[in-house]
Amino acid sequence: MKVGIIYDPIYLKHDTGAHVENSIRLVETVGLLKKSNLIEKLVALPVKAASLEELALAHSRSHISRVQSTATGCGCWLDSDTYASPASYEVALHAVGGTLRGLDAVMTGKVDHAFATVRPPGHHATANEAMGFCLFNNIAIAANYARKSYKLERVLIVDFDVHHGNGTEEIFYSDPGVLYFSTHQYPWYPGTGAVYDDGSGDGKGFTVNVPLPAYCGDKEYLRAYREILVPVAKRFRPQLILVSAGYDCHWADQLSLMQVTVAGFTGIVGIIKELADKLCQGKLLLSLEGGYHLGGLSHSIKATFEKLLGIPIGTDPLGEPEGTYISHNIDPVLEQVKERHKLT
């Protein structure tokens, strides 16, 4: 099994200062992969900047120009949460470009699966706006790149970040060629992702939102993936699976109220990997989104790579949620989703 990693020190130059989405996230993650010798088992894939034409696969020229203009200034806030330093445009080009090179490696068989450990993240970026720490939508661009370059007709995007990927949803809301599936804490930032948000026009039914209440843990998440994602994916028959891999639903993360453990992420990735192996010859690419507790993030990414490689999962030093974990009844949510998408 060959698993690719996309990483370049340029990703550290997106200088956000004391912002929660900062370069230490990748320093800690890559450091753990090296310390555990896991990185030696991975295929390092080259990174290059995306072209303007590639950015335009999911973004308007005006949005691209606005982000580009930060490179000639001294940094600015693109919205109340999203900072761009003078180097951020160039870094964002390499985040998109790295994700696309990972996709090329998966599609050409150089690797079986790949993980783009990139920043800035992307799933909140709409066609016309940067928001939620995101400048360009790495996964959305990758989906359209795959369809254009490899003539794919059906791409599945799975998003397990704790926040709903409103940008990805918006870009593909009326597009039947991309099925967007998201589990997320609801209501939570950015406030989107209700069950009834299920697409429009030709894309009706190709957006599948599973809005979960706060304090859900491994049990609830794995139920959502087994009971909703699995039948939806089998019906859709994707030729490629892309994943917005956000680890901020870890129980120790300060930006959420969820209770997922490293083992829970391993289970989620295992379900997605099994679907890729069964439905699209293993063609699976993950791209990093959120995750802001350094230990939770780095150990969850390490476990993700271990799962993709098919090797025993290492020790989780964080363990179970602190305090008493209370199981939540998510039957009403799952039943609503199943009824909405005719899974019953």
* Given the residues 14, 94, 124, 250, the one annotated as active site: 124
Q: What angle do CA 243, 249, 255 make, to 5 degrees?
A: 115
Pair of tokens at residue 246? 């956000």
Instruction: Find, among 200, 226, 3, the residue nearest to 115 by Cα.
Output: 3
Measured in degrees and rounded to the nearest 5, phi and psi for residue 129 equal -140, 145
Measured in degrees and rounded to the nearest 5, phi and psi for residue 78 equal -85, -25
Instruction: Find, among 124, 110, 164, 120, the residue nearest to 1 by Cα.
Output: 110
Pair of tokens at residue 73? 């200034």
Indicate the helix (H) or strand (E) that contains 157.
Answer: strand 155-159
CA 246 to chain centre: 5
Instruction: Find, among 48, 146, 45, the residue nearest to 97 by Cα.
Output: 48
User: 122 with 161: CB under 8 angstroms?
Assistant: no
Residue 19 annotated as catalytic: no
Q: How far is CA 125 from CA 59, 81, 165, 207, in A?
A: 9, 12, 8, 17
Active site residues: 124
